Structure 1
Amino acid sequence: MSVKAKKIVKKFLDSDVFVNRNLFQDFFHKELKVFWHASSGYREYDYNDYHRLSQSTASFYDSMRCEISHMISDKNEVAARFTVFVKTIENPNEEVPVGYFISIFKLDDEKIVEIHQTSHPSQY
Structure 2
Amino acid sequence: MMKQAKDIVREFYDSDIANDASIIEKYFHPNAVLTWNGIEGLTNLGFDKISDFFADIRKNYKELKIEVSHLLQDNDTVTIRYKYYVHPIENPDEEIGIAHFICIWEIKDEKLYRGYQVSQPFKDQDEKDNSYEKVKA
Task: Using structure 1 for the length normalisation, give the TM-score.
Answer: 0.93
* 2:85 counterpart of 1:114: no
- State how many pairs are aligned: 122
* Per-residue Cα deviation, 1:64-108 (whole angstroms, up to 9, x for no partner): 011111111011110011011110101100112100000001101
| Higher-Rg member (1/2) | 2
Over the aligned positions, Cα root-mean-square deviation in angstroms equals 1.2
Partner of 1:73: 73
Distance 2:94 2:46 in 1: 32
Q: Percent identity?
A: 29
Tell me, which stretches of 5 or more residues in structure 2 are unaligned? 125-137
Residues 98 and 121 in structure 1, CA contact (< 8 A), matched pair in contact too: yes
CA–CA separation in structure 2 for the residues paired with 1:19 and 1:117 = 23
Is 1:29 matched with 2:29? yes
Give 1:40-55 correspondences, 5 Å limit.
40-55=40-55
What is the rounded CA distance, in whole Å, between the counterparts of 2:27 and 2:18 in structure 1?
Answer: 11
Q: Calculate the TM-score normalised by the size of structure 2.
A: 0.84
Indicate the residue corresponding to 2:6 in structure 1: 6
Query: 1:18 Cα shift?
Result: 4.1
Runs (4+) of structure 1 moved beyond 4 Å?
A: none
Specify the alignment match of 1:98 in structure 2. Answer: 98
Provide the rounded CA distance (Å) in 1 between the counterparts of 2:76 and 2:104.
10
Conserved 8 A contact 1:39-1:120: yes
Q: In 1, are the aligned partners of 2:18 and 2:62 still within 8 Å (CA)?
A: no
Give the Å deviation of 1:19.
Answer: 3.5
- 1:94-124: per-residue Cα shift (whole Å, max 9, x none)? 1121000000011011100111000011124
